[in-house]
């Protein structure tokens, strides 16, 4: 178990600051995850294959835009 102890000279506000920072990071991660999901869905729709099939069977030569598009899709997965 990880235990984080925060000490502050101010009696108020430290907990609020930490909670706000954690909430902001969670929101940022959620936004990134939704963006990744949209990108993957776009590739799957464009090529009419699942990402599993893409990873197993596709090469850069199979992609309309070649290496760059292959790297983008693989990077999202």
Does residue 19 lie in a domain region?
no
Q: Global pTM? A: 0.74
Which conformational region is residue 66 in: left (phi greater than 0), alpha (psi within -120 to 50 degrees), or beta? left
Matching residue, tokens 């992609």: 63
CA 21 to each of CA 7, 10, 57: distance values in angstroms, whole numbers, following the listed order: 16, 18, 42
Over the stretch 4-55, which tens digit does the pLDDT of each residue have? Answer: 888 888 767 888 888 999 999 999 999 999 999 999 999 999 999 999 999 9
Does residue 69 lie in a domain region?
yes
Does residue 11 lie in a domain region?
no
Contact by Cβ (8 Å): 69, 63: yes
Predicted confidence at residue 33, as pLDDT, reads 98
Does residue 26 lie in a domain region?
no
Q: Please give the residue range of the domain that contains residue 52.
A: 31-76
Q: How many domains are contained in the chain?
A: 1
**pLDDT at residue 75 greater than cutoff 80:** yes
Does residue 65 lie in a domain region?
yes
């Amino acid at each position: 178990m990880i235990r984080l102890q925060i000490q502050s000279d101010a009696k108020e506000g430290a907990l609020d600051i930490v909670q706000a920072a954690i909430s902001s990071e969670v929101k940022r991660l959620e936004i990134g995850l939704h963006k990744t999901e949209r990108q993957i869905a776009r590739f799957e729709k464009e090529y009419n294959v699942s990402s599993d099939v893409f990873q197993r069977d596709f090469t850069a030569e199979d992609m309309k835009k070649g290496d760059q598009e292959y790297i983008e899709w693989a990077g999202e997965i």
